[in-house]
């Protein structure tokens, strides 16, 4: 009798727990920030919004080792996009490129490889020789390419960065960056040039050396062991020297959310992967992304002081908002804020209004609404021509 009563009480207790689990709002559950990260400097960022989810000493200047190559890859992909180089272009290895030590793919002086192959050598095997060969292809010399790297870093707002080479092999105190700056250049690379994933997802692939010594195959093996340790991994770049210790910029995609976890100064290679994985897992446990592609068509705006009566308007782009507090994103409200008319002249692309987004009464962001064409202010002669043309029709 007592046993049956105990079972009945237990079943009732379990039922109550299940009901509570099903009815509690997501915001009730609080995910604790990770406290087991050993790396002294790190950051976790959502790529599409640039929102920082978690960080520690993220602005501290540190030696980056081979994660320097993220900037090298960014410049290469920008050159590809601009049409200044092509994946099929051939690159001849110089004596300087061949002389690079450290991580390399053993290019010989005079050896010819395509841009496509050299990108693989950089992204998969972290080839220092391949990086210098591509720097010379793009700029004529590594020195000129490094100048481009530093200029691009300034444009991206990388305030704690200065490069002295294109591969990170140097131990110079003048070659430094920060976890935040690494995240910024990683963000630019993966959001503007997602084709990088065609390379950073490669685990192992052969290339062919054709030199005066003959033909031989060489196997590129990824330095990114997280590809086998974390199913959502998409990239990006590892690095290590005695000065930098172990660094890593890890990218992952899950449920449509791209995260970037950067760790610098990890004590060993296992810790850098473990810390990055911990950050990514935490990020996905708290992150929920609201996205409005803004595909709806907007009504034209009236235009004054012009022959034309209306001017088309459109959204500048989509809207994204990352929530890490467990809010109900179905409650996001969108408000179109725009005057009834505008006075000519107006220029295509200029702001005409905005779509503002609110959550729980608070504004969480906006997207500009812009003019779809340029319209000049009408003069007396324009009205005269208009009237004459109308009368002759």
Catalytic residue at 12?
no
CB 260 within 8 A of CB 232: no
360 contact partners, CB below 8 Å, separation of at least 6: 327, 331
Report the alpha-carbon distance of residue 15 to residue 19 in Å, rounded: 6
Give the closest residue to 129 by CA, choosing from 236, 226, 251, 218: 218
Catalytic residue (choose from 41, 69, 139, 287): 69
- The question of whether 126 is a catalytic residue gets the answer yes
Per DSSP bridges, beta strands 233-241 and 41-46 are unpaired
The one-character DSSP state at 172 is -
Buried b (16+ CB within 10 A) or exposed e, 71-101: bbbbbbbbbbeeeebeeeeebebbeebbebe
Say if CB 207 and CB 199 are below 8 A apart.
Answer: no
CA distance 117 to 29: 47
Instruction: Count Cβ atoms below 10 Å from residue 293 Cβ, excluding itself.
Output: 10
Residue 44, CB half-sphere, CA atoms under 13 Å: how many? 25
Instruction: Given the residues 39, 63, 103, 126, select the one marked as catalytic.
Output: 126
Confirm whether 99 is a catalytic residue: no
Q: Which residues 6+ apart lie within 8 Å of 273 measured at CB?
A: 225, 226, 229, 248, 250
Task: List the catalytic residue out of 39, 63, 66, 186.
Answer: 66
| Two tokens, residue 109 | 């002086």
Residues contacting 186, CB < 8 A, separation 6+: 47, 70, 236, 237, 249, 251, 260, 262
Strands in 333-338's sheet, in edge-to-edge order, are: 313-315, 362-371, 351-359, 333-338
Q: Please give the backbone phi and psi of residue 122, each rounded to the nearest 5 degrees, phi first.
A: -75, -50
Q: Residues with catalytic annotation?
A: 66, 69, 126
């Amino acid at each position: 009798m007592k046993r049956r009563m105990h079972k009945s009480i237990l079943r009732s207790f379990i039922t109550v727990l299940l009901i509570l689990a099903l009815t509690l709002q997501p915001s009730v559950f609080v995910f604790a920030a990770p406290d087991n990260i050993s790396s002294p400097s790190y950051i976790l960022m959502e790529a599409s919004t640039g929102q920082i989810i978690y960080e520690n000493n993220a602005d501290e200047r540190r030696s980056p080792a081979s994660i320097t190559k993220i900037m090298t890859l960014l410049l290469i992909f920008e050159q590809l996009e601009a049409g200044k180089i092509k994946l099929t272009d051939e690159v001849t290895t110089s004596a300087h490129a061949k002389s690079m030590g450290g991580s390399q793919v053993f290019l010989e002086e005079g050896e010819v490889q395509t841009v496509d192959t050299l990108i693989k050598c950089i992204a998969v095997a972290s080839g220092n020789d391949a990086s210098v060969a591509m720097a010379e292809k793009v700029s004529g010399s590594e020195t000129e390419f490094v100048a481009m790297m530093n200029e691009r870093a300034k444009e991206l707002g990388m305030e704690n960065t200065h490069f002295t080479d294109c591969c990170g092999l140097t131990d110079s105190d003048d070659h430094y960056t920060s976890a935040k700056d690494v995240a910024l250049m990683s963000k630019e690379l993966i959001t503007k040039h997602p084709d990088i994933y065609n390379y950073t997802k490669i685990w192992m692939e052969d290339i062919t050396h054709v030199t005066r010594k003959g033909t031989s195959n060489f196997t590129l093996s990824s330095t990114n062991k997280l590809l086998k340790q974390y199913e959502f991994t998409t990239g990006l770049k590892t690095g290590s020297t005695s000065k930098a210790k172990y660094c890593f910029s890890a990218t992952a995609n899950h449920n449509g959310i791209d995260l970037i976890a950067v760790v610098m100064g990890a004590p060993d290679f296992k810790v850098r992967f473990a810390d990055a994985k911990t950050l990514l897992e935490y990020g996905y446990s708290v992150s929920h992304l609201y996205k409005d592609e803004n595909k709806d068509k907007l009504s034209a705006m009236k235009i004054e002081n012009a022959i034309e009566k209306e001017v088309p308007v459109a959204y500048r782009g989509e809207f994204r908002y990352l929530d890490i507090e467990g809010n109900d994103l179905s409650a996001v409200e969108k408000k179109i804020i725009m005057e009834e008319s505008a006075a000519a002249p107006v220029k295509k692309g200029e702001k005409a209004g905005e779509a503002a987004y609110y959550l729980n009464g608070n504004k969480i962001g906006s997207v500009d609404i812009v003019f779809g064409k340029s319209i000049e202010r009408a003069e007396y002669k324009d009205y005269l021509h208009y009237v004459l043309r109308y009368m002759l029709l």
